[in-house]
Amino acid sequence: MDRQSDFAEGRKVITVALAANERYGNPLVVAAGSLAENASERVRFVILDGGMSARTQDFVRNAVNAKGNVRHSVDFLRINDEEFRGFRLMDGNAMTYTRLLLPALLKDDEWVLYSDADVMWKKDVAKLWAERDDKYSAVVVADGEKSATLEEFKVGEYFCAGIMLTNLRVWRDENVSADCCAWLKDHPDAAFWDQSALNRVLKGKVKYVDGGWNTFLEPSPHGYVEPEHCHVLHYAAMDPWTFGFRRNGLCAYKLDWFRKLARYKRTTVLGEIVAAKIRNWRERVRR
């Protein structure tokens, strides 16, 4: 049986959406590659593509279908972030908001797992996928004290939208995306972009799961370290690819990320580090 019909027949497949543009190509390779590598079931990757070279797309496909992996599929959906350009931008683009398009883009799906691209997957996504629950609009991890209090939420009640099992049927029925956009129009200074809106609109309607599914790095005397209990490592502002020797040096978690990147792209760690340095230097000059 060919691969298309396998997927079409609706066999057990996990649908995962990630969003990226060319600048986020490398993070996407690591996020998708590490998710695929640890997955015990078939994953259908839906990439919300904000503009990406064919070469970068090939790197993603190769990473996902690395030898020894379960057979996965990858689709790139070319999307336009223009309709969100009026909202507060992140890194000069509106890609973060494109997850609000998922209920319309995946109109035949009931659930999708949205994953940020600034993460590394360490555990089997099938275990998180099993947490879907039709009583809730989303399945998420509570965010830390800092962001909760900044947004004037109680700790434990505010969630991080970076890893989010999304109940698409409910989102469509209850117009969640439209409500988020309406809220964002009224709150142009929202601290955390669409995450701020999602927390208001979905308040009391989300299920919380084990924090390991969305773990941030922890400060330590040696820079930053990966916490012990971690299924998905979320780099957030500590991204390894904006690479500075001055800030935290070349610590273990950064090297880890470059090792994965080089393995998935079949390049070298040193080559990728040098390329990242040059890219960052160019961006700094341009600014």
Binding site for Mn ion (CB under 5 A): 116, 118, 162
In whole angstroms, the minimum distance from the beta carbon of 122 to Mn ion comes to 16
CA distances from 24 to 16, 43, 95, 203, 279 (A): 17, 21, 10, 30, 12
Looking at the Cβ atoms of 116 and 143, the one nearer to Mn ion is: 116
Closest distance of CB 117 from Mn ion, Å: 7
Kind and range of the H or E run holding 141:
strand 138-142
Query: How many residues comprise the chain?
Result: 287
Smallest distance from Mn ion to CB 175, Å: 25
CB of 3 within 8 A of CB of 71?
Answer: yes
Cβ proximity to Mn ion: between 49 and 118 the closer is: 118
In the complex, least distance from residue 195 CB atom to Mn ion, rounded to whole angstroms: 9
Q: Which is nearer to Mn ion, 49 or 116 (CB)?
A: 116
- C-beta of 31 vs 39, nearer to Mn ion: 31
Closest CB to Mn ion among 116 and 194? 116
| Least CB distance to Mn ion at residue 116 (A) | 4
* Cβ closest to Mn ion, residue 73 vs residue 199: 199
Long-range pairs for 85-92: beta carbons < 8 A, 24 or more residues apart: 86/185, 87/184, 87/185, 87/188, 87/190, 87/193, 87/194, 88/184, 88/188, 88/189, 88/190, 88/193, 90/193, 91/23
Least distance to Mn ion from the beta carbon of 287, Å? 22
CB 7, min distance to Mn ion, A: 28
- Reading the block at residue 58, the tokens are 């090939």
Residue pair 121/31 in contact (Cβ under 8 Å)? The answer is yes
Looking up tokens 């090792």, which residue turns up? 259
Give the amino acid at 80: N
For residue 108, the tally of other CB atoms under 10 A from its CB is 6
Which CB atom, from 100 or from 170, has the smaller least distance to Mn ion? 100
Residue 58 vs 145, nearer CB to Mn ion: 145
Helix (H) or strand (E) holding 32: helix 25-38
Check the CA dihedral 91-115-176-21 and report its sign. Answer: positive
* Distance in angstroms (rounded) separating the CA atoms of residues 266 and 287: 31
Minimum Å gap between C-beta 234 and Mn ion is 6
| Minimal CB distance residue for Mn ion | 116
